[in-house]
């Protein structure tokens, strides 16, 4: 039977002086919370727009006989727009 070698010991100080995020400190000063929130909301808007296009296409393509198709799309757009306006309204302050 072969002997299993010991794992190398990690040399981490007990006081926790190693900072794994030290390389990112140059970027931390240039970004504020408003910029980060704006980028996140822009990404969410892009995802929402793609989702809305795909959902609208599928509802119109495969649900064209249902009388709920157009009201469902309208409700989706109204609720989504209302939530987006509510989310963005706090950024102006």
In the chain, how many domains are there?
A: 1
Q: Is residue 75 part of a domain?
A: yes
Cβ count near 53 (within 10 Å) = 10
The reply to whether the predicted model has a pTM over 0.85 is no
pLDDT at position 2 is 62
Query: Which domain covers residue 80, as residue numbers?
Result: 44-93
Q: Is residue 92 part of a domain?
A: yes
Residue in the structure block whose two tokens are 């794992």: 7
Q: Is residue 73 part of a domain?
A: yes
| Structure confidence by residue, pLDDT tens digits, 53-88 | 998 898 888 887 788 888 888 999 999 888 888 877
- Checking if the pLDDT of 46 tops 60, the result is yes
Q: Is residue 58 part of a domain?
A: yes
Q: Is residue 56 part of a domain?
A: yes
Mean confidence (pLDDT) of the chain: 76
Residues 6+ apart with CB under 8 A from 41: 87, 88, 91
Q: Is residue 59 part of a domain?
A: yes
């Amino acid at each position: 039977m072969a002997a299993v070698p010991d794992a190398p010991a990690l040399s981490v100080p007990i006081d926790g002086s190693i900072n794994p995020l030290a390389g990112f400190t140059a970027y931390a000063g240039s970004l504020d919370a408003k910029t980060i929130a704006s980028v996140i909301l822009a990404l969410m808007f892009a995802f929402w727009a793609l989702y809305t296009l795909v959902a609208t296409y599928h509802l119109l393509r495969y649900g064209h006989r249902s009388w709920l198709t157009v009201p469902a799309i309208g409700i989706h757009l109204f609720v989504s727009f209302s939530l987006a306006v509510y989310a963005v309204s706090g950024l102006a302050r």
